[in-house]
Structure 1
Amino acid sequence: MAAVVLIAAPGHRAAAEDPIEIFDAHLHYNWEPKPFYQLDEVLALFKKHRITGVLATSRPNTGTHALMDAKAEGLQVVPFIRPYRVRADIGSWFNDPVIFDLVQDEFKRGYYRGIGEFHLSGKAADTEMVKKTVDFAVTNNLYLHAHADDEAVEILMRHNPRAKVIWAHAGFSLAGDRVAAMLAKYPKLWGELSYRSGIVDGSGKLTPEWRTLFERYPDRFLLGSDTWVPERWASYDEIMAGYRGWLAQLPPAVAKQIAHGNARGLFAEK
């Protein structure tokens, strides 16, 4: 018996030291004007950081097509339709019928699970094109990935109460009690945490406000890198280390839900 324990113990210690797996639920592999990393470099980066899933978007959607075609072992790619061809579309897509045509054409590929990330501020969400996009998503059981303030999120939900919204950046610096109120009001709203301020203090310690939020709503948060510019790819190591730093301060079950469990549940393989 003693011999068995001695042999088994090192392996158990190694497993315990493995970094928690992360589902990157806000990833852009943009091809405008060209990718920062080649596809094999991107896949190697995911493997290095134990990224086992990605919510993939790109501008244009070429980068997402490439990630889907790669079929990398051990990596779940969840493709979303980006309603942008070039960066300038950020400020006009919500009034542009051509963009809605783009969304419908991309959807014909048969593998998309959502629409976004798209940008909306306040009453810019209250347009015919946005409502058509929300209704299209609901009809086809798609998620919406919205970079939006709380007013715009409210409007999205008013367009169609059955909408399922991933809230990019979870309101950025919005007060935690307002985030909690939004989660309580909308059961089909999930907060994605890239660029989210207030989670940790200057020493990297989880703040009491956000510890309470995570423990109250452990099933409503996702992690993301938001690799929208080359600098975010270059700091991927730092981004993931930052997440793991505060995840380690949570109860293990809560940490696993936020790190990958919630995304796995939302995007279960069809």
Structure 2
Amino acid sequence: MYHSIRRSLLALLLTLPFAAASAASPIFDAHLHYRPAEAAHFGISDVARTLAANQVRSAIVMAPEDDLIRRLKAGSDTRIVPFLEVSQRLGKKMDWMHVEDLGDRVARMLDESNVKWRGLGEFHILADDRFAPGFEQLLDLAVARDLTIMIHGDPAVIDHAYATHPEVRILWAHAGSYAYPPLVQDYLERHPRMNMDLSMRNPRINPGGQIDDAWFELFLAHPDRFMIGVDTFTRTRWEQYTRLKDETRAWLEQLPEDVARAIAFENGERLFPAP
């Protein structure tokens, strides 16, 4: 009965002007990767054209080297928020936290760089690795340098990070490893300095083209804690960018305009303001 009433109300909201987010509204993409392997086949001009065509005004771009960020900034009208991606540069995707003297090595990368990095990541980490010295060192570094750390990890990882470093700023990739609205809500309330990106979650949020009730209520309850993203971890994801962004816009358009605008770009630009 409740869901039937909710869906009827949603259908009514979608006929009202305040509930329709413009398809041309700007975007802050909170989850882009750009690595040499992708750059060799999807160049700077391709990235710039793709972002401009999708009204991406600002974007977090995770890259392993200065040159890619400098070239993106010079060749694109999109404001680039650079995150230093080091896990696969220093180790492997899932064992970076065991690299000896990880914190010192990343600190040297930051010191020797000509880029003003705004964050670190994305870091994949399972619950069993949350006590690894390398993870502790990166949390120390993030706090000391006022950097956001993007974590792709289990809930226990987030709890441990805030138990030891309550002041750290975390961007939890994909709304966590287990993106179920009750769990997401619990963690938003536990950790007020944590925000979430919603990349890879369109099928859960908008099954069958109608926004899920629980996600709808969650976005209304916490409109200031979410950002959207495409997660361009392969060349194919770059090539499919417009379709994937359109899938995101499809559920943003079902939210009240102020909530859609906050999630689409205002939260990102507030959390990562232009210098």
Query: Normalised by the shorter chain, which TM-score bucket?
Result: 0.7 to 0.9
Asked whether the equivalents of residues 152 and 177 of structure 2 are also in contact (C-alpha less than 8 Å), the reply is: no
2:97 aligned with 1:97, yes or no?
A: no
Residue 134 (structure 1) aligns with:
139
Asked whether the equivalents of residues 27 and 225 of structure 1 are also in contact (C-alpha less than 8 Å), the reply is: yes
Residue 158 (structure 2) aligns with:
153
Residues 199-219 of structure 1 show CA distances to partners (whole Å, capped at 9, x for unaligned) of 112x21111100011000000
Distance 1:98 1:83, change over 3 A: farther
Looking at structure 1, the residues matched to 264 and 196 of structure 2 have their Cα atoms a distance apart, in angstroms, of 13
Report the alpha carbon displacement of residue 107 of structure 1 after superposing the two structures with TM.
1.7
Looking at structure 2, the residues matched to 86 and 138 of structure 1 have their Cα atoms a distance apart, in angstroms, of 22
The one of 110, 114, 121 equivalent to 1:107 is: 110
1:160 maps to a residue whose letter is H
Residues 15-35 of structure 1 show CA distances to partners (whole Å, capped at 9, x for unaligned) of x96512111110001113753
Report the alpha carbon displacement of residue 101 of structure 1 after superposing the two structures with TM.
3.8
Report the alpha carbon displacement of residue 121 of structure 1 after superposing the two structures with TM.
0.8
Residue 242 (structure 1) aligns with:
247
Distance 1:36 1:125, change over 3 A: farther
Q: How does 1:1-270 map to 2 (within 5 A)?
A: 19-32=24-37, 34-60=39-65, 62-68=67-73, 70=74, 72-73=76-77, 75-86=78-89, 89-97=92-100, 99-108=102-111, 109=113, 111-196=116-201, 197-201=203-207, 203-270=208-275
Residue aligned with 2:69, SS: helix
1:230 maps to a residue whose letter is R
Distance 1:20 1:58, change over 3 A: same
1:236 maps to a residue whose letter is Y
Distance 1:120 1:235, change over 3 A: same
Distance 1:131 1:86, change over 3 A: closer
- Between 153-162 and 84-93, report the one with greater CA deviation: 84-93
2:181 maps to a residue whose letter is G
Residue aligned with 1:268, SS: coil
Unaligned runs of 5+ in 1: 1-15
Looking at structure 1, the residues matched to 64 and 145 of structure 2 have their Cα atoms a distance apart, in angstroms, of 22
1:198 maps to a residue whose letter is R
Report the alpha carbon displacement of residue 53 of structure 1 after superposing the two structures with TM.
0.7
Looking at structure 1, the residues matched to 47 and 90 of structure 2 have their Cα atoms a distance apart, in angstroms, of 22
RMSD: 2.0
1:81 maps to a residue whose letter is L
TM value normalised by structure 2: 0.85
Report the alpha carbon displacement of residue 238 of structure 1 after superposing the two structures with TM.
1.2
TM value normalised by structure 1: 0.87
Residue aligned with 1:19, SS: coil
Report the alpha carbon displacement of residue 61 of structure 1 after superposing the two structures with TM.
5.4
Looking at structure 2, the residues matched to 153 and 194 of structure 1 have their Cα atoms a distance apart, in angstroms, of 18
Q: Aligned residues: percent identity?
A: 28
Unaligned runs of 5+ in 2: 1-20
